[in-house]
Homo-oligomer: A and B are copies of this chain.
Amino acid sequence: MAISTERIDPRVQRTRGLIQQAFQALMREQGFESITIQSITERATVNRSTFYAHFTDKYDLMDTLMREQVRDVLRRTLPDDAPVNRAHLHALTRAICEYLMNFQSARCQAAGHDQCEPLIEAAVQAELHSFIEAWFKRLPGPTTPPDVSVAMAASIASWTIFGAGLHWRNAAQRCSLDDLSWQVVAALTKGVPAAMGQPGRLA
């Protein structure tokens, strides 16, 4: 069990923080593509070679930054001991959609087509997945023979939420965030056909 929060050297925390902070500022000002490693390290008052001790390139930086952000959002959304139920699924969906939305408007569109969008989305989905997997693992054991493993269920749930969120974000006109989240919850809990009002049609 990797419960323990491996003590991280404060120097590491500091430089990571400085780099990420500088990166975010530059993102707001310039957009992703035109950012250079030098500019990051200069603004962070960190030696350029130090950057490479922590990240392999700016894509890596972007990736880990996104993951951390998403992880924080999720942790803040659900209490540590949250049971798996409709309300919490709803909250989770809401949070992810909000995050996707904020992100769209805030970043990554300054300089035409930044290449970072897919990166971001992959990071979001990945973190959502691992969060949900950990969450599902705290469920009591099955009372009837399961059709899917916990890992598979987590994968499906995360992709469902993520996919719906992306669809919603990119839609020409969006229903309310609340509506959307309940739709997702319905699909997740009842199954897609039932959620569509077509019970038994595919049975």
Contact = CB atoms under 8 A, between A and B. Distances in A.
Nearest to A11: B11
A116 to B, nearest CB: 28
A45 interface: yes
Interface in A19-46: 45-46
Quickly give the copy total for this chain: 2
Interface string A46-86: 11000000000000000000000000000000000000000
A47 B11 CA distance: 10
A51 to B, nearest CB: 14
Contacts of A10: 45-47
Contacts of A46: 10
A14 to B, nearest CB: 7
A13 B47 CA distance: 13
Q: Sorted from nearest, which 4 A-B pairs have the closest CB atoms?
A: A10-B45, A14-B45, A10-B47, A13-B45
